[in-house]
Amino acid sequence: MAAPDVTVFVCVSCRRRADNAVGFDEPGRVLAERLADRLADDAPGAAVVPVECLAVCNRPCTVALVGDGKWTYLVGDLDNEAHLDDIAAAARAYGATENGIIAWKERPLPFRKGVVARVPPLAFRPQTPTPALSGSDALTQD
Amino acid sequence: MAAPDVTVFVCVSCRRRADNAVGFDEPGRVLAERLADRLADDAPGAAVVPVECLAVCNRPCTVALVGDGKWTYLVGDLDNEAHLDDIAAAARAYGATENGIIAWKERPLPFRKGVVARVPPLAFRPQTPTPALSGSDALTQD
ipTM of the complex: 0.85
Tell me which of A9, A122, A125 to substitute to probe the interface with B (most B C-beta atoms closer than 10 Å).
A122
- Residue-range domains of chain B with CATH: 6-119 (3.40.30.10)
pTM (two decimals) = 0.86
Residue B44: half-sphere exposure toward Cβ, Cα within 13 Å = 3
CB distance from B7 to chain A under 8 Å?
yes
Model confidence at A132: pLDDT above 80: no
b/e code A21-57 from CB counts within 10 Å (16+ = b): eeeeebbbbbbbebbbebbeeebeebbbbbbeebbbe
Residue from the list B54, B62, B117 with its beta carbon closest to the beta carbon of A55: B117
Instruction: Note the pLDDT tens digit of each residue in A37-86.
Output: 999 988 888 999 999 989 997 899 999 999 999 999 999 999 999 999 99
CB atoms within 10 A of CB A136: 7
> Which carries the bigger pLDDT value, residue B26 or residue A74?
A74
Average pLDDT of the segment spanning B96-117? 95
Which chain B residues are closer than 8 Å to A66 by Cβ? 119, 122
CB distance from A34 to chain B under 8 Å?
no
- Residue B139 to chain A, least CA–CA distance (Å): 32
